[in-house]
A = this chain, B = another copy of it.
Amino acid sequence: MLRAALELFGRDGVAGTTLSALRAASGVSVGSFYHHFAGKEQVAEALFVECIAMYQEAFLAELKAHDGARGAVSGAVAFHVRWCKEHPDRARFMFTERPAASAALDERNKAFYREVWSWWRVQARHGALIGVDGTTAFVLWLGPAQELCRMWLNGQSAEPSARQIEWLSEAAWRSLGADHDR
């Protein structure tokens, strides 16, 4: 059910997929559907939380797999694109839908940002990364990769190539690393 919903939501958007389509794709009756979910929106919300949890967990693992700031910064960029390639349905869904405000989601996001940000501050204190606010750091770090994936998933550009990922990784380090002259 959730699997079918993911594909439909990714292709047509939450608003664009009818309940009939959902039911046809997953073979559940109206009553059954409403027994398990409060409605279409709630399915979308559950899916959203699931996707973002999956992404954030993998992101943190990637971060911890590197011990130098340079490797982590570049690695995270490559990771972001890789994750989108491996889970295109989830990525398309996450980038397209604007989730309704949800306490569970806020909680999760806050915990994620806290963890990433504390890592960042340690690196910055060591003189490996520049000291900027979290938002600026985030958009410089993953903004280009995010935009590249978005364009690809929207059909506006080709699938990101290894060479492009290299460019983006290097650029991120050039923007965020503090250990070269400036």
Interface residues of A (CB under 8 A from B): 13-16, 96, 98, 132-133, 135-136, 138-140, 142-148, 151, 154, 157-158, 164, 167-168, 171, 174-175
Contacts and interface: CB of A to CB of B under 8 A. Distances in A.
A136 B143 CA distance: 12
A151 B167 contact: no
A135 B151 contact: yes
Given A98-B154, A135-B151, A139-B143, 5 more contacts: A96-B98, A136-B167, A139-B168, A142-B147, A143-B147
A166 to B, nearest CB: 10
Contacts of A96: 98
Contact of A174 (B133, B148, B174): B174
A145 B13 CA distance: 25
